[in-house]
Amino acid sequence: MSQPSAETNSKNTVAAGFWSEAWKRFRRRKLAMAALIYVAALSCVALFAPAIAGTKPIICKYKGSIYFPALGYLRRQWENPIFLEIRKEYSTRMKEEDPDSWAVWPLVYQDPYRRVKEGEWPGQPGNPSGIMGAPSRHNLFGTDQQGYDVFAQMVHGTKTAMLVGFVSMGIASVLGISIGALAGYFGGVIDIVLSRLIELVMCIPTLVLILSVLAVVEEPNIWHMMVVIGITGWTGLARLTRGEFMKLKELEYVTAARALGLSGTRIMFRHILRNALAPVLVPIAFGIAGAILIESGLSFLGVGGEAPNPSWGSLLSAARNTLEETWWLVVFPGTAIFLTVLAYNLIGEGLQEATDPRLTQSGH
């Protein structure tokens, strides 16, 4: 019951010192840093996807005004309706209508939502369909069976891949860790009730839940999906956290903290939590990456939101039809998923070691 302001203050300084120290240690780990850079780069790709691959100019001057048609990839409304008069055929009809127009084009002239046809871009043939779409100069990662460019789909699918992982595992982690912590620390009736909640959620088949959601939600989108993955994916984390808390709450330092009169929440989240994270780090790291695969599995059930929704997972499932022939439909998205799993795990390991206060002494 001391002065709240003072306490908050000291907490902040402690926290700041701890995290900057951790960041210093993290930076020393080359692999972890490389992984972090990879994730940062991936975020950039996700953010700037329309500028990397697309068939709409990033910026153009048309009939005296400046436009940014590529924003239409992010939101339809952001593409100026004036281009309906050329039916959005920028590469061929813009010059025709207005000879003075100019445009800055994305790095790669390919579209994630359709096949690029013959004659759309000077010197670029139409995308091959069927099983003929092996990687080439014009289709860096090849094309799928219908002639959509794989590179463009992967670039535009990066956003989904990252969002799904972070949002759904974010929800799952917050739910799982706090419910597990409460159950493990307090025990007794609280544990009995929360454990039954965990069991209940575990036993509800995800497929059933998703299809029931469909009955309620008229226009399901990707956010619904992330929430569903999140609210069904936390139970394992909760069990793991609970187990750790049950063990750690009996340790001397916790007893000491309690003797000092610290509040339960404070002990839980400031003192035990840090030490209880080891078991959930790997599940979370794998979970973030694994959500990419779950997403494609769920879109199989029709909660994937609106099509076309290019994603790494959906490329992999498209590969199933012609697995032996179209290796590029497996190799490129597979590699992207592999690198992402690897990166998240390296970051997880880095975090684990960087935030371990004992490590400074151990001279690791």
Partner 1 sequence: MISYLIRRCLIGLITLLLITFVVYSLIRFMPGSPMTNEMAMLDPSKSISKEDYERRLKSFGLDKPWYEAYFVWLGNVTLKGDLGRSITQRKPVASLIGERAGATLLLSGSSLLLTYLLSIPMGLWFTVRSGKADERTLSTALYTLYSLPSFVAALYLQILLAVKLGWLPLMGLKSEGFESFSIFGKALDILQHSLMPIICFTYGSLAYFSRFIKSNMDEVIRQDYIRTARAKGVSPARVITHHAFRNTMIPLVTMIGLTLPGLLSGAIILEQIFNWPGMGQLFFASIGGRDYETIMGLTLMFSVLTLLGQLLADVLYAFADPRVSFS
Partner 2 sequence: MFPRLRSLFFLIPLTLAFLAGCKSSDPEVPPKPGESSGAGTQEEEVLLQPFDAPPLEELEAKVTWEDQLVVDPMDLLREKQAQTEPLVTVEEALQLRNNSMDENAKTLNASRRVAGSDAEVEWDATIVRHLSADIKSSNPLMINSTAEFDVLGLIGFEIFGFDWNMTPLATSDTVKSWQTSKDRMYDKVVLRDDLTWSDGTPITAHDVVFSFQTIMNPKVPVPAVRQGADKLRWIEAYDDYTLVYFHSEPLATNMWNLNFPTIPKHIYEESIKEDVTLQDSDYHVKMEDHPVCGGPYKMVKREQGQEIVCVRRDEYFFKDGQPIRPLHHFKEVRFKIIKDPNTSLLALKAGEIEDLELTAEQWIKETDKNELYEKNTRVTATEWIEFHFIWNCKTPFFSDVRTRKAMSYAFDHDEMLTNIFYGLYEPASGPWHSEHWVAPKTPLPPYKQDFEKAEQLLDEAGWIDSDGDGIRDKEIGGKSVKFEFTINVAESSDNGKKACELLKSCLDRIGVVCHVRPLEFTVLQEKEFNHQFHAAMGGWGAGADPYTTKNIFGTDEDRNFGSYSNPEVDRLFEAGEKEFDRQKRAEIYSRIHTILYEDQPYTWLFYRNAFYGYNKAVRGYNFSPRGPYHYSPGFSSIWKAVSN
Interface with partner 1 by CB under 8 A: which residues? 31, 187-188, 191-192, 195-196, 198-200, 202-205, 207-209, 211-212, 214-216, 236, 239-240, 242-244, 246-247, 250-251, 275, 278-279, 281-283, 285-286, 293, 316, 319-320, 323-324, 330, 334-335, 337-338, 341-342, 345, 348-349, 352-353, 356, 358-359, 362
**What is the Cα–Cα distance from 34 to 39, expressed in whole angstroms?**
9
In the complex with partner 1, which residue's Cβ is closer, 102 or 338? Answer: 338
Of 11 and 247, nearer to partner 1 (C-beta) is 247
318, 139 contact by CB (below 8 A): no
Residue 302 touches which of partner 2, partner 1, none (Cβ within 5-8 Å per kind) = partner 2
CA distance to 258, 279, 333, per residue, from 276 (Å): 18, 7, 34
Residue with structure tokens 């010197």? 123
Interaction partner, residue 325 (partner 2, partner 1, none; CB < 5-8 Å by kind): partner 2
Q: Whole-number minimum distance, CB 4 to partner 2, in Å?
A: 51
Please name the residues in contact with 287: beta carbons below 8 A apart, sequence gap of 6 or more.
165, 168, 169, 172, 233
**Are 114 and 107 in contact, with CB atoms under 8 Å apart?**
no
Query: For residue 65, what is the enclosing H or E element?
Result: strand 65-67
Q: Does 325 bind partner 2 (CB under 8 A)?
A: yes
Using a 10 angstrom Cβ sphere, with 0-12 exposed, 13-18 middle and 19 or more buried, the burial of residue 172 is: buried
How many Å apart are CA 93 and CA 110, to the nearest integer? 17
131 binds, among partner 2, partner 1, none (CB under 5 to 8 A by kind): partner 2
| 52 to 91: interface string for partner 2, x by CB under 8 A | ------------------------xx-xxx--x--xxx--
Task: List the single partner that 251 binds among partner 1, partner 2, none, CB under 5 to 8 Å by kind.
Answer: partner 1
The order of strands in the sheet holding 102-104 is 65-67, 59-62, 102-104
| Footprint on residues 331-360 left by partner 2 (CB under 8 A) | none
The DSSP symbol for 301 reads T
Token code pair at residue 228: 């569903």
307 binds partner 2 (CB under 8 A): yes
Residues numbered 144 to 163 that lie near partner 2 (CB under 8 A) are 145-148
Q: Which does 240 bind (CB under 5 to 8 A by kind): partner 1, partner 2, none?
A: partner 1
Please tell me the distance from the alpha carbon of residue 110 to that of residue 139, in angstroms, as a whole number: 8
- Give the footprint of partner 2 on residues 88-147 (CB under 8 A): 88-89, 113-115, 117, 129-131, 145-147
Cis peptide bond upstream of 81, omega within 30 = no
Task: Specify the residue, 61 or 114, whose C-beta has the smaller distance to partner 2.
Answer: 114
Q: Looking at the DSSP assignment, which residues form a beta bridge with residue 66?
A: 61
Rounded to a whole number of angstroms, the minimum distance from the CB of residue 110 to partner 2 is 14
Which of partner 1, partner 2, none interacts with 109 (beta carbon under 5 to 8 A by kind)?
none
User: Would you say 49 and 156 are in contact if contact means Cβ atoms under 8 Å apart?
Assistant: yes
Q: Which of 185, 344, 197, 191 is nearest to 275 (CA)?
A: 185
Strand partners, 113: none
**Residue 307 interacting partner from partner 1, partner 2, none (CB closer than 5 to 8 Å by kind):** partner 2
For partner 2, the binding residues (CB under 8 A) are 76-77, 79-81, 84, 87-89, 113-115, 117, 129-131, 145-148, 211, 214, 219, 299-302, 304, 306-308, 318, 320-325
